[in-house]
Amino acid sequence: MTEAILLVGGKGTRLRPLTAHTPKPMVPAAGVPFLTHQLARARAAGVTHIVMATSYLAEVFEPHFGDGSELGLHLEYVTEDEPLGTGGAIRNVAGRLHSAPGDPVLIFNGDILTGLDIKALVATHRTSGADVSLHLTRVEDPRAFGLVPTDGTGRVTAFLEKPQTPEEIVTDQINAGAYVFNRSVIDTIPTGRPVSVERETFPGLLAAGAHLQGMVDSTYWLDLGTPQAFVRGSADLVLGRAPSPAVPGRCGDRLVLESAEVAPDAKLTGGTVVGPRAVVGAGTRIDGSAVLEGAVIEPGARIRDSLIGAGARIGARTVLDGAVIGDGAVVGPDNELRDGIRIWCGAEIPAGAVRFSSDQ
C-alpha cells in the first residue's frame, strides 16, 4: 500500500486577510477545509497512511483532522521547529514512513487542487523504473513555477525553479506538485537544515544521473497561491469541474450548507458556496464566490468572484468584484470594491466610502 507525505508548512501570505488565524490549507473551499479535498482524493486512490509535514500555525491541523479515521486514513503530524523547506520537510518525516527502501512514497504540495490520477502516477513510476516521478502540467505562463523539460520518453532533463530570464523558459511543462519518490531517495536528503526539493534535491539528483520521470497530462490543475485562484478553485469544486469526493453535497451552480439562511429571491450562481450559519439577504446576486461561515450579506448586494471571510458583513447594495474580505470585516452599505482588493480581518469600511464608478 502506498503512503503519502503532505507538505502544509508554507505561510500562504497572499491570503493573509483570511489566514491570520488559519493556515491556507484550512480555509474552506466548497464548504470544507481545503486540505480535506486532497486527503479524500488520496484515500480514494488507495492511500491509507499520510504524514503531514507542518510548520506555520501547525496547531490547527490535528484538532480538526485528528487521527484521520473519519476519512478512513491513518494521519500523523510532524511539526518543524523552524521551517525546513520542501525537501527538509520531506526528510524530517521519513522516520514515520512504513515503506521499505524500494517502495514508492507519494508526496503532495498542500496547496494544489487537481484531478490527478494518483494511481496512474504510481503506475508510471513502476513501469519506468524511475527513482522519482513527477506529475507535470502545462500552463500559459510558467514563470511562477518549476519548469520541467522532458525528452521523448518522458524522462526529465532539467529542473528550473522560478526561471528569472527569458532564456530559462525552455518549456511550458511545470512541476504540478505531486511526486512519487523511492523511499531510499528520501533518505539521501540531508537532515537538520532547510532544503528545497525544487532548487537543491531535483537538480542534484539529475546531476548525479538519477532517473526522474515526468507524467504530463491535461487534467484539472490549479495552484491556490493567490486569493483569485482560491475563489476559482472553490467554485470549480462546487461546479464539479474539480473532482473531489469531499464536497459536502451535490455539485451544481451553488452549494448552500445546512444552517445557512438564503432569501428565496437571492440568485446564487457559478459555483457559489454559502457556509454554515451565513445569511444572504433579499435581492442579492452572488456569482462564483465563497461566503464563509457566519458571514452576512445584506439585501441588494452584488458579489462576483470574491471571498467573504467568516463572520464578515457586506452592507446593502455593496458591489464586490474580485475582492477578499477578511474574517470579521465589516463593509458598509453602498461601497464598490474591485480587482484584487483585500480587506483585512476585522477592518471596517463606512457606508458609501469607496467607489469606482461615477457617483450618482
Nearest distance from residue 83's CB to ligand GDD, in Å? 3
Nearest distance from residue 221's CB to Mg ion, in Å? 12
198 binds Mg ion (CB under 5 A): no
Tally Cβ neighbours within 10 Å of residue 48.
15
Nearest distance from residue 140's CB to Mg ion, in Å? 17
Outline where DSSP puts E strands in 290-347: 290-291, 296-297, 302-304, 307-308, 313-314, 319-321, 324-325, 330-331, 336-338, 342-343
Q: Please, which residue, 224 or 235, has the CB nearer to ligand GDD?
A: 224
In order, the DSSP letters of 196-250 are -IIIIIHHHHHHTT--EEEEE--S-EEE--SHHHHHHHHHHHHHTSS--TT-SS-
343 binds ligand GDD (CB under 6 A): no
Nearest distance from residue 98's CB to ligand GDD, in Å? 20
- Of 163-182, binders to ligand GDD (CB under 6 A) are 174-175, 177
Of 236, 244, 238, 249, nearest to 41 (Cα)? 244
* Sign of the torsion angle spanned by Cα atoms 65, 37, 304, 277: negative
Nearest distance from residue 183's CB to ligand GDD, in Å? 19
DSSP code, position 14: G
Rounded Cα distance between 67 and 72, Å, is: 9
Q: Please, which residue, 92 or 284, has the CB nearer to ligand GDD?
A: 92
Rounded Cα distance between 234 and 228, Å, is: 10
198 binds ligand GDD (CB under 6 A): yes
Instruction: Indicate which single residue of 3, 76, 161, 293 sits in contact with ligand GDD (rule: CB under 6 A).
Output: 161
8 binds ligand GDD (CB under 6 A): yes
Q: Which residues pair with 106 in a beta bridge?
A: 4, 180
Nearest distance from residue 222's CB to ligand GDD, in Å? 9
76 binds ligand GDD (CB under 6 A): no
Q: How far is CA 359 from CA 285, 341, 353, 355, in A?
A: 22, 20, 11, 8
233 binds Mg ion (CB under 5 A): no
Rounded Cα distance between 116 and 67, Å, is: 25
Question: Which residue has its beta carbon closest to Mg ion?
Answer: 111
Q: Which residues pair with 338 in a beta bridge?
A: 321
Amino acid code (one letter) for 333: P
* Sign of the torsion angle spanned by Cα atoms 236, 53, 66, 135: positive
Grid cell locating 284: 442579492
Rounded Cα distance between 228 and 230, Å, is: 5
x/- letters, 111..150, toward ligand GDD (CB under 6 A): xx--------------------------------xx----
83 binds ligand GDD (CB under 6 A): yes
- From the list 96-104, 109-117, 257-265, 331-339, the region that binds ligand GDD by CB under 6 A is 109-117
- From the list 163-171, 203-211, 225-233, 260-268, the region that binds Mg ion by CB under 5 A is 225-233
Rounded Cα distance between 156 and 153, Å, is: 9
Instruction: Indicate which single residue of 27, 32, 53, 286 sits in contact with ligand GDD (rule: CB under 6 A).
Output: 53
Instruction: Indicate which single residue of 225, 288, 322, 332 sits in contact with Mg ion (rule: CB under 5 A).
Output: 225
161 binds Mg ion (CB under 5 A): no
Q: Please, which residue, 25 or 28, has the CB nearer to ligand GDD?
A: 25
Q: Please, which residue, 65 or 280, has the CB nearer to ligand GDD?
A: 65
Contacts to ligand GDD by CB under 6 A: 7-10, 53-55, 80, 83-86, 89, 109-112, 145-146, 161, 174-175, 177, 198, 223, 225
Contacts to Mg ion by CB under 5 A: 111, 225
